[in-house]
Amino acid sequence: MLNDYLLTVISNIGMISLIALSAYLLLISGEISFGQQAYFGISAYAGAIATTLWGWPLWLALLFGSSLAALAAGFVGLLTLRISGLYFSIATLAFAEMVRLSLFKLSYQLEIDGELIGPNGAEGFGEIRWIFDNDVSVLEYTLLIYGILLLVLFCLVLIERSRLGMIFRMLGQDPLLTRIQGLNPVRYKVTAAILAGFIAGLGGTLYAHSFTYIEPQIFNVMLGVHALAYGLIGGLGTVLGPLIGVAIDIGFLESVRVFQGYRMIVFGGLVAVMLIFMPRGILDENRVYRLKNLAQRWFRA
């Protein structure tokens, strides 16, 4: 049977996959963001406030939190239009740190059932009780997470096959040539930022309700850089790449007891060596092409 520990690991993989996918979406369009944790965090706080303090249903809170995240992402996207490369990365990092530090100053508490509840600076935001109040079991919540993850994956696959996805990749490879091609990079850069913000936001609200307690420290740059690393480890050629990265890190190393206390030493060394041989990850564009061709030939035969 699935025990609760295992379920927690599995649901963790699902939620972290969402922020990894969000970083991946920007990666393929040529932007390295160190700041996707900001949108994860904004949505975690907003979504949790919506259910816990305002009594909204979860789906509405999800929509609210993620939209707020997308809005913030669009705003940052517009501000950072002129910069790229390392400058963009550091700007997103600076923004995310501003968000995290602002959360230390965020205090908004209401009295609910005789108790003061709500975010309170460094003390964090506990008692996010939606799961208990609605009698949702861990299994059910895990299924919800994976339902949403599948939906996001489905949409991303559609995007990848569409003209929009191709334009993202074109931007990632050569923005100037994309312009020569008669496309307006501004529009697509902001679109990518908003989409990525929304996806990270979905993960954030889900995360807050799964753990029932959040604090600013969770949304530090470590989370963001991990999200980035997952895509790069798994491969930039397909949306499955980031999921593979998450599964390797959380699913394998964190859960296997032998590595306790040595996880980063093993994982760090492993990834560093891997990146030497596969600088664009396990499933990079060329391998994906080759696999696709292989599959095609297989079907024809």
Partner 1 sequence: MTDFLQNCIDGVMFGSGYALLALGFTLVFGVMKRLNLSFGPSIMLGAYAGTWVYLNFSQNVLLVVLVTVMITVAVGIYVERLCFWAVRRDATIASMVSSFVIWMQLEEVAMHLLPERTYPFPAFFTSTVIDIGPFFVRSEHISMFLLTLVLLALLHLFLFRTRPGLAVRAVSDNPLASRYMGINSSNVLFLAFAVVSVLGGLAGFLILSADSQVTPFFGLWATFKGLIAMMLGGMGSLPGAILGGLLLGVVEANAFWYGGPVVRDISAYLLLFMMLIVRPGGLVGQRIVAQQQAAYERV
Partner 2 sequence: MLKVDNIVTRYGAIEALKGLSLEAREGQVTCLLGPNGAGKTTTLFTIAGILNSHSGSITLEKDNLTNLSAPGIVRKGVVLVPENRLIFPQMSVEENLVAGAFARPRKDQPAINADLKGIYERFPPLKERSTQSGGTLSGGEQQMLAIGRALMARPKILMMDEPSLGLAPIIVEKIFDIISLLNKEGVSILLVEQNARMALKVAHHIYLLEGGKVTFNGNPQEMQQDEVIQRAYLGAGST
> Contact residues for partner 2 (CB under 8 A)?
163, 166-167, 169-170, 173-174, 176-177, 179-184, 285-286, 289, 292-293, 296
The least distance separating partner 2 from the CB of residue 108, rounded to whole angstroms, comes to 44
The nearer residue to partner 1, 15 or 99, going by C-beta atoms, is 99
Tell me how far apart the alpha carbons of residues 184 and 186 are, in angstroms, rounded to a whole number.
6
Dihedral (CA of 156, 157, 162, 167) sign? positive
Tell me how far apart the alpha carbons of residues 291 and 293 are, in angstroms, rounded to a whole number.
5
At 261, the amino acid letter reads G
Contact 23, 33 (CB under 8 A): yes
Tell me how far apart the alpha carbons of residues 164 and 252 are, in angstroms, rounded to a whole number.
34
* Contact of residue 291 among partner 2, partner 1, none (CB under 5-8 Å per partner type): none
Contacts with partner 1, residue ranges (CB under 8 A): 27, 32, 79-80, 82-83, 86-87, 89-91, 94-95, 97-98, 101-102, 104-105, 176, 221, 225, 228-229, 232-233, 261-265, 267-269, 271-273, 275-276, 279-280
Tell me how far apart the alpha carbons of residues 40 and 36 are, in angstroms, rounded to a whole number.
7
* Contact of residue 87 among partner 1, partner 2, none (CB under 5-8 Å per partner type): partner 1
Angle, CA 79 vertex, CA 194 and CA 27 arms, to 5°: 50
The least distance separating partner 1 from the CB of residue 103, rounded to whole angstroms, comes to 10
The least distance separating partner 2 from the CB of residue 170, rounded to whole angstroms, comes to 6
Tell me how far apart the alpha carbons of residues 94 and 52 are, in angstroms, rounded to a whole number.
30
The least distance separating partner 2 from the CB of residue 199, rounded to whole angstroms, comes to 23
* Contact of residue 163 among partner 2, partner 1, none (CB under 5-8 Å per partner type): partner 2
* Contact of residue 107 among partner 2, partner 1, none (CB under 5-8 Å per partner type): none
* Contact of residue 79 among partner 1, partner 2, none (CB under 5-8 Å per partner type): partner 1
Dihedral (CA of 112, 118, 122, 126) sign? positive
The least distance separating partner 1 from the CB of residue 200, rounded to whole angstroms, comes to 18
* Contact of residue 265 among partner 1, partner 2, none (CB under 5-8 Å per partner type): partner 1
The least distance separating partner 2 from the CB of residue 183, rounded to whole angstroms, comes to 6
CB within 8 Å of 182: residues ≥ 6 apart: none
The nearer residue to partner 1, 128 or 232, going by C-beta atoms, is 232
Quote the radius of gyration of the chain (alpha carbons, Å). 20
The nearer residue to partner 2, 94 or 295, going by C-beta atoms, is 295
The nearer residue to partner 1, 101 or 158, going by C-beta atoms, is 101
Tell me how far apart the alpha carbons of residues 61 and 44 are, in angstroms, rounded to a whole number.
10
Q: Which long-range contacts (CB under 8 A, 24 or more apart) does 269-272 make?
A: 271/229, 271/233
The least distance separating partner 1 from the CB of residue 224, rounded to whole angstroms, comes to 10
* Contact of residue 174 among partner 1, partner 2, none (CB under 5-8 Å per partner type): partner 2
Residue 67 CB-half CA count within 13 A: 7
The least distance separating partner 1 from the CB of residue 254, rounded to whole angstroms, comes to 13
